[in-house]
């Protein structure tokens, strides 16, 4: 005869094994789905200022301001294994001192059940577009791209890049007016 504790331990171990197998099956049913979709990004207004950085050096650095339009339908990305999407808009550019610069300008979390059809007009960036130095003024190749992380119920946390990006250039003169 087995004691109550031994029987409880056996039932619990069996239940956890079954749950682990079901979780793996859930993960495997969505791991090979394609989570890439198209996005349209356009810049509306682009200016650059030269402002003091209030850190130790107190040097003046470039600060870019831009407004953008973005359209994307992310509804097909949601299935039963997707809890939420973490979207972020990045700017990539090259300067003489750095071969690759990446700056996150905007982000958003979309939960399952929310409207996932994005249609933004004249959006301001959420975060500052700083450059350590003077790499923004006159820069001719700034590329905006949208990416997202899929937060699943079970499984991997993939980083997905959207199809479509937008390249623009900053003006060759600093803006002195207030925005």
Give percent above pLDDT 90 in the chain: 60
Which pLDDT band holds residue 146 (cuts at 50, 70, 90)?
very high
Residue 39 has pLDDT above 70, yes or no: yes
Handedness of CA 138, 139, 141, 143 (dihedral sign): negative
Whole-angstrom distance, CA of residue 84 vs CA of residue 98: 34
Whole-angstrom distance, CA of residue 142 vs CA of residue 53: 22
Strands 82-93 and 60-73: unpaired
Residue 13 has pLDDT above 80, yes or no: yes
Phi first, then psi, for residue 8 (nearest 5°) are -60, -40
Global pTM value: 0.84
Say how many Å lie between the first and final Cα of the chain, rounded. Answer: 81
Q: Residue 55's pLDDT is what?
A: 66
Give the H or E element holding residue 118. Answer: strand 117-124
């Amino acid at each position: 005869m087995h004691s109550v504790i031994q029987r409880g331990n056996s039932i619990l171990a069996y239940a956890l094994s079954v749950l682990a197998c079901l979780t793996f099956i859930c993960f495997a049913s969505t791991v090979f789905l394609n989570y890439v979709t198209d996005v349209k990004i356009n810049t509306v207004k682009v200016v650059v200022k030269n402002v003091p950085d209030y850190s130790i050096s107190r040097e003046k650095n470039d600060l870019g301001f831009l407004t953008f339009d973005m359209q994307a339908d992310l509804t097909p990305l949601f299935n039963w294994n997707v809890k939420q999407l973490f979207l972020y808009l990045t700017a990539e550019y090259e300067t003489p001192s750095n071969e690759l610069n990446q700056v996150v300008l905007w982000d958003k979390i979309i939960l399952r059940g929310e409207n996932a059809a994005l249609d933004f007009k004249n959006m301001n960036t959420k975060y500052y577009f700083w450059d350590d130095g003077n790499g923004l003024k006159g820069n001719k190749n700034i590329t905006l791209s949208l990416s997202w992380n899929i937060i699943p119920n079970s499984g991997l946390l993939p980083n997905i890049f959207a199809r479509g990006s937008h390249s623009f250039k900053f003006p060759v003169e600093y803006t002195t007016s207030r925005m």
